[in-house]
Amino acid sequence: MRFMMLVYPKGYEGNAPETVPDPQHVIEMGKYNQELTDAGVLRAMDGLDSPGKGARVTFDTGKAVVRDGPFAEAKEVLGGFWVIEVDSREEAIGWAKRAPMNADEFIEVRKVHDYADWPDEVKKEIENFQGLREKAEAKR
């Protein structure tokens, strides 16, 4: 089963748009990423640029409304993620515990919807998605 580990770094929400992560921390992350790779569990990972450079699109009125960052109301802002494939939720949490994070930061561990998780009527639609995913992979 696949789990997404969502990284919530401290202070990211108030960072200036041009902020990049501390180089020393990037090196430690590289080591951790190598452990995930060597264990054969890593499926995807990426880091996100400062939220101040992002945008939010809301659909409250049925029409898409765009707001540019930064967002004063944001308290916990995503900084990056890993997708890992492991045998259990406990194993996923075990990996999260080993990540090189700083005080008052956290990692949220969430299960990715797999085909088997969906009700039968939804599976039919998902089959279309799976075809699409293969096409997306082929284009890379």
Which one of 39, 88, 113, 115 is in contact with another protein (CB under 8 A)?
113
3-state SS assignment for residue 139: helix
Shortest distance, CB of residue 72 to another protein, whole angstroms?
A: 13
Shortest distance, CB of residue 38 to another protein, whole angstroms?
A: 9
Amino acid present at 17: P
Do residues 3 and 92 lie in contact, with contact meaning Cβ atoms separated by under 8 Å? Answer: yes
Positions in 65-104 near another protein (CB under 8 A): 66, 74-76, 78, 80, 83, 89, 93, 96-97, 99, 101-104
Distance CA 55, CA 57 (A): 7
Burial of 34 (0-12, 13-18, 19+ CB in 10 A): exposed
Positions in 10-49 near another protein (CB under 8 A): 20-21, 23, 26-27, 30, 33-34, 37, 40, 42-49
Number of residues that bind another protein (CB under 8 A): 72
